[in-house]
Amino acid sequence: MQADRFRMRPPPSIHGALLKIGAMAGGPGYTPDPCPRIADNINALSQGGDSPLLQEELRRKRRLCD
């Protein structure tokens, strides 16, 4: 008969815990990086032509992602 064994796992990290909390608060696919969301917003807003909201998203992209 084998001795009792237990599986070793790496200790939880603060980064991993924060990502899990963010996913719970922000929903599935949550990311702290705003660039993918900004790109999606620009894509959706550009379908309707130029608008103040589109210009704001373009400003946010230049400021945060470029």
Instruction: State the residue for tokens 């899990």.
Output: 20
Instruction: State the residue for tokens 């917003």.
Output: 41
Expressed as residue numbers, the domain containing 59 is 33-66
Is residue 43 included in any domain, yes or no? yes
0.75 exceeded by pTM: no
Count of domains forming the chain: 1
> What per-residue confidence (pLDDT) applies to 62?
96
The separation between CA 2 and the C-alpha centre of its own chain, rounded to angstroms, equals: 45
d(CA 17, CA 2): 35
Is residue 26 included in any domain, yes or no? no
Is residue 58 included in any domain, yes or no? yes
Is residue 52 included in any domain, yes or no? yes
Enumerate residue ranges in the chain where pLDDT < 70.
Answer: 1-3
Task: Assess contact for 54 and 42: CB atoms under 8 A.
Answer: yes
> What per-residue confidence (pLDDT) applies to 42?
95
> What per-residue confidence (pLDDT) applies to 58?
96
Is residue 15 included in any domain, yes or no? no
d(CA 53, CA 16): 34
In 3D space, the residue among 32, 38, 31 whose CA is nearest the CA of residue 66 turns out to be 38
